[in-house]
Structure 1
Amino acid sequence: MPLTLEQIRSDVAECLGEDPADIPLDENLVDYGLDSVRVMALLERWRHEHAVQADFADLAERPAIEAWAPLLGVA
């Protein structure tokens, strides 16, 4: 099953204990409490469930859902 923008948002929100509607697509997720440990956990989950090939460094460089989408194979 391919990863979608809404799935990324939902997974990030779950990781942060927030409602997905409260997680913006275009803002820095560090400002919402996302840290490197959580980014790694999300990346491992997506690698396992969706065969994502992205690197941690790429996600950490621009921690926003819109920036992640192309890196995670979301069209």
Structure 2
Amino acid sequence: MMKPRKDSKAHSNIVAGLGTSEDIEHLRRNRHNPFLKEGKVDIEAYLQFVTEFNEFINHAPKPFRRIIDRDMRL
């Protein structure tokens, strides 16, 4: 990674503490959520991510257990 030149404007802003809140605001406005498609949650994308992540960390899926309860409330 290249070190910024000490006379560069970016280096001056970082040292002076200027521009950081604007940069964070810019990142917040332009962040990308991979689970949203056309403003709605894409369940398929989320399930694919969770499945691949579990495989990546070698997490064995738990066997299915039916929930048996007389009083099922949310």
TM-score range normalised by the length of the shorter chain: under 0.3
Higher relative contact order (CA 8 A, sep 6+): 1
Q: TM-score, normalised by structure 1?
A: 0.26
Q: TM-score, normalised by structure 2?
A: 0.26
Give the greater-gyration-radius structure (CA): 2
The structure whose residues are more often helix, as a share, is 1
The structure whose residues are more often strand, as a share, is 2
